A and B are shown apart, each in its own frame.
Chain A
Amino acid sequence: MSSAELASRSGCKRTEVMHDDCRTGKGDTMSEAMVKHGALPTAEGGGGSMRHLNALTAVAGGVALAALGWLISHHFMQTDDPETSDQVVLITLGCWAVGFMAGIGAFAGPFRWLLGNDLTHADEMHLAGKDQGVGRYFRFTTDHKVVGVQYLIVTMVLLAVGGTLAMLMRTNLIVPHSNFLGPQTYNSLVGLHGIIMVIATIIMVTGPFGNFILPIMIGARDMAFPRLNALSLWLLVAAVPVLLSAGFMGGIPTGWSAYAPLADQATPGMDGYLMAIVIFAISSAVAGANITTTVLTMRARGMTWTRTPIFVYGVVASVGLALPALPMFMAAQVELAVDRTMEGQFFIASGGGSPWLYQNLFWLFGHPEVYVIVIPAVVALMELTPVFARKPLYNFNAAVLGIVGIVGLSIMVWAHHMYASGWAPDLNGPFMLTTEMISVPTGVLFLVVIGTIWRGRIWTTVAMMSVYAMLWNFIIGGVTGIYLSDVPADYALHGSMFVTAHFHYTLMGAGLTGAIGALYYWFPKMTGRMLSERVGFVSFWLVQIGFNVTFLGMFAVGLAGQPRRVFTYPHMFATGNFISTIGAYFIGIGMLITLYNVISSWRSGLVAPANPWGGKTLEWAVPNPIPLANFEVLPVVISDAYGYGEGDPQPPHWRADPHSPATPELVPAGAGTTISDTEGSPQ
Chain B
Amino acid sequence: MRPMTITTSMDHMATRTRGFSRRRDVRQVVALWAVLTVLGVVFGLFVPARLMGPPASPTMRGIEDTMTVFSVAAAPVAAVVWAVALYSLLVWRHKGAGPPETDGPALRTSRPAAVLWILLSSVLCVFLLVWGLAEMGSVATAGSRNNPMVVNVTGNQWVWTFDYPDKGGVQSDQLYLPVDQPVVFHVRSKDVIHSFWVVKMGIKVDANPWEVTQTSVVPNKLGTFDIRCAELCGLLHADMETSAHVVSGAGFTQWLQAHGGHA
A interface residue numbers (CB < 8 A to B): 183-184, 187, 190, 253-255, 259, 261-262, 265, 306-307, 349-350, 355-356, 389-392, 394-398, 420-422, 425, 428-429, 432-433, 436-437, 439-440, 443-444, 446-447, 450-451, 453-460, 468, 471-472, 475, 479, 482-483, 485-489, 491-492, 494-496, 555-556, 559-561, 563-569, 613-614, 639-640, 643-646
The answer on a CB contact under 8 Å between B211 and A489 is no
The answer on a CB contact under 8 Å between A488 and B132 is yes
With A397-B109, A458-B89, A565-B237 known, 14 other A-B pairs at CB within 8 A are A187-B237, A255-B232, A262-B234, A391-B105, A394-B107, A420-B230, A422-B187, A455-B88, A483-B70, A486-B131, A487-B136, A494-B230, A563-B238, A643-B106
The answer on a CB contact under 8 Å between B2 and A639 is yes
Tell me the complex Cα distance, A576–B76, Å.
Answer: 28
B195: chain A residues at CB < 8 Å are: 420, 494-495
Q: Does chain A have a CB within 8 A of B153? A: no
Q: Does chain A have a CB within 8 A of B183? A: no
Contact of B133 among A254, A432, A569 (CB under 8 A): A432
Contact of A457 among B71, B94, B187 (CB under 8 A): B94
The answer on a CB contact under 8 Å between A429 and B102 is no
Residue of B whose beta carbon sits closest to that of A456: B104
Tell me the complex Cα distance, A640–B226, Å.
Answer: 59
Q: Give the secondary structure class of A's interface.
A: helix
Tell me the complex Cα distance, A445–B263, Å.
Answer: 59
Tell me the complex Cα distance, A444–B114, Å.
Answer: 8
Q: Does chain A have a CB within 8 A of B121? A: yes
Contact string against A for B residues 32-76, beta-carbon threshold 8 Å, 1 for contact and 0 otherwise:
000000000000000010011100000110110011001100100
Tell me the complex Cα distance, A195–B93, Å.
Answer: 39
Taking A261-B209, A458-B93 as contacts, is the C-beta distance between A495 and B230 under 8 angstroms?
Answer: yes
Contact of B231 among A265, A453, A495 (CB under 8 A): A495
Residue of B whose beta carbon sits closest to that of A353: B210
The answer on a CB contact under 8 Å between B94 and A183 is no
The answer on a CB contact under 8 Å between A483 and B85 is no
Q: Does chain A have a CB within 8 A of B1? A: yes
Tell me the complex Cα distance, A565–B195, Å.
Answer: 13
Q: Does chain A have a CB within 8 A of B233? A: yes
- Closest CB-CB distance, A360 to chain B, in whole Å? 13
Q: Does chain A have a CB within 8 A of B167? A: no
**In the complex, how many residue pairs between chain A and chain B have their CB atoms under 8 Å apart?**
272
Taking A259-B231, A262-B234, A488-B139 as contacts, is the C-beta distance between A436 and B128 under 8 angstroms?
Answer: yes
Taking A255-B232, A261-B193, A451-B113 as contacts, is the C-beta distance between A391 and B107 under 8 angstroms?
Answer: yes
Contact of B107 among A398, A444, A455, A563 (CB under 8 A): A455
- Closest CB-CB distance, B210 to chain A, in whole Å? 3
Q: Does chain A have a CB within 8 A of B108? A: yes
- Closest CB-CB distance, A598 to chain B, in whole Å? 23
The answer on a CB contact under 8 Å between A453 and B204 is no
A190: chain B residues at CB < 8 Å are: 232
The answer on a CB contact under 8 Å between B235 and A183 is yes
Interface residues of B in 179-235 (CB under 8 A from A): 187, 191-193, 195, 197, 199-200, 202-206, 208-211, 213-215, 226, 228-235
Tell me the complex Cα distance, A437–B70, Å.
Answer: 15
A494: chain B residues at CB < 8 Å are: 195, 204, 230
Q: Does chain A have a CB within 8 A of B99? A: yes
Tell me the complex Cα distance, A307–B2, Å.
Answer: 8
Tell me the complex Cα distance, A350–B125, Å.
Answer: 42
Contact of B89 among A446, A460, A495 (CB under 8 A): A460
Contact of A349 among B66, B67, B77, B210 (CB under 8 A): B210
- Closest CB-CB distance, B213 to chain A, in whole Å? 3
Taking A392-B106, A432-B132, A556-B51 as contacts, is the C-beta distance between A489 and B63 under 8 angstroms?
Answer: yes
Interface size on B, residues (CB 8 A): 89
A436: chain B residues at CB < 8 Å are: 125, 128-129, 132
The answer on a CB contact under 8 Å between B85 and A472 is yes
Q: Does chain A have a CB within 8 A of B166? A: no
The answer on a CB contact under 8 Å between A560 and B117 is no
- Closest CB-CB distance, B123 to chain A, in whole Å? 10
A395: chain B residues at CB < 8 Å are: 108-109, 114
Tell me the complex Cα distance, A506–B200, Å.
Answer: 27
The answer on a CB contact under 8 Å between B205 and A644 is no
Which 4 A-B residue pairs are closest in the complex by CB-CB distance?
A495-B230, A422-B213, A349-B210, A645-B103
Contact of B103 among A391, A444, A475, A569 (CB under 8 A): A391
Tell me the complex Cα distance, A187–B71, Å.
Answer: 33
Q: Does chain A have a CB within 8 A of B14? A: no
Q: Does chain A have a CB within 8 A of B254? A: no
The answer on a CB contact under 8 Å between B125 and A439 is yes
The answer on a CB contact under 8 Å between B82 and A472 is yes
The answer on a CB contact under 8 Å between A261 and B191 is yes
The answer on a CB contact under 8 Å between A492 and B232 is no
The answer on a CB contact under 8 Å between B106 and A491 is no
The answer on a CB contact under 8 Å between B228 and A455 is no
The answer on a CB contact under 8 Å between B89 and A349 is no
Residue of B whose beta carbon sits closest to that of A486: B132
Q: Does chain A have a CB within 8 A of B10? A: no
The answer on a CB contact under 8 Å between A444 and B135 is no
A306: chain B residues at CB < 8 Å are: 1-2
Tell me the complex Cα distance, A438–B216, Å.
Answer: 30
The answer on a CB contact under 8 Å between B106 and A482 is no
Contact string against A for B residues 18-36, beta-carbon threshold 8 Å, 1 for contact and 0 otherwise:
0000000100000000000
The answer on a CB contact under 8 Å between A491 and B192 is no
- Closest CB-CB distance, B78 to chain A, in whole Å? 5
B136: chain A residues at CB < 8 Å are: 428-429, 432, 487-488
Taking A394-B109, A456-B92, A563-B230 as contacts, is the C-beta distance between A468 and B85 under 8 angstroms?
Answer: yes
The answer on a CB contact under 8 Å between A496 and B230 is yes
- Closest CB-CB distance, A477 to chain B, in whole Å? 11
Most chain A CB neighbours (cut-off 10 Å) among B88, B114, B214: B88
Sample 12 A-B pairs with CB under 8 A, ordered by A number.
Answer: A350-B209, A398-B114, A420-B230, A421-B205, A422-B187, A444-B121, A483-B70, A486-B66, A488-B66, A489-B70, A491-B63, A491-B204
The answer on a CB contact under 8 Å between B52 and A560 is yes
Contact of B129 among A433, A564, A640, A645 (CB under 8 A): A433
The answer on a CB contact under 8 Å between A457 and B85 is no
A425: chain B residues at CB < 8 Å are: 140
The answer on a CB contact under 8 Å between A563 and B197 is yes
Taking A436-B132, A443-B121 as contacts, is the C-beta distance between A350 and B210 under 8 angstroms?
Answer: yes
Taking A429-B133, A475-B78, A491-B204 as contacts, is the C-beta distance between A486 and B231 under 8 angstroms?
Answer: no
Q: Does chain A have a CB within 8 A of B170? A: no
The answer on a CB contact under 8 Å between A458 and B199 is no
Residue of B whose beta carbon sits closest to that of A391: B104
- Closest CB-CB distance, B225 to chain A, in whole Å? 10
A187: chain B residues at CB < 8 Å are: 232, 234-235, 237
Residue of B whose beta carbon sits closest to that of A614: B99
B94: chain A residues at CB < 8 Å are: 457-460
- Closest CB-CB distance, A610 to chain B, in whole Å? 14
Taking A306-B1, A450-B85, A639-B2 as contacts, is the C-beta distance between A349 and B129 under 8 angstroms?
Answer: no
Tell me the complex Cα distance, A89–B117, Å.
Answer: 55
Residue of A whose beta carbon sits closest to that of B52: A559
Tell me the complex Cα distance, A265–B233, Å.
Answer: 10
Contact of A491 among B109, B122, B202, B237 (CB under 8 A): B202
- Closest CB-CB distance, A480 to chain B, in whole Å? 9
A559: chain B residues at CB < 8 Å are: 48, 51-52
Tell me the complex Cα distance, A447–B110, Å.
Answer: 11
The answer on a CB contact under 8 Å between B121 and A567 is no
A183: chain B residues at CB < 8 Å are: 235-238
The answer on a CB contact under 8 Å between A645 and B199 is no
Taking A395-B114, A468-B89, A640-B2 as contacts, is the C-beta distance between A450 and B235 under 8 angstroms?
Answer: no
Tell me the complex Cα distance, A450–B63, Å.
Answer: 32
The answer on a CB contact under 8 Å between A644 and B51 is no
The answer on a CB contact under 8 Å between B238 and A355 is no
The answer on a CB contact under 8 Å between A645 and B106 is yes
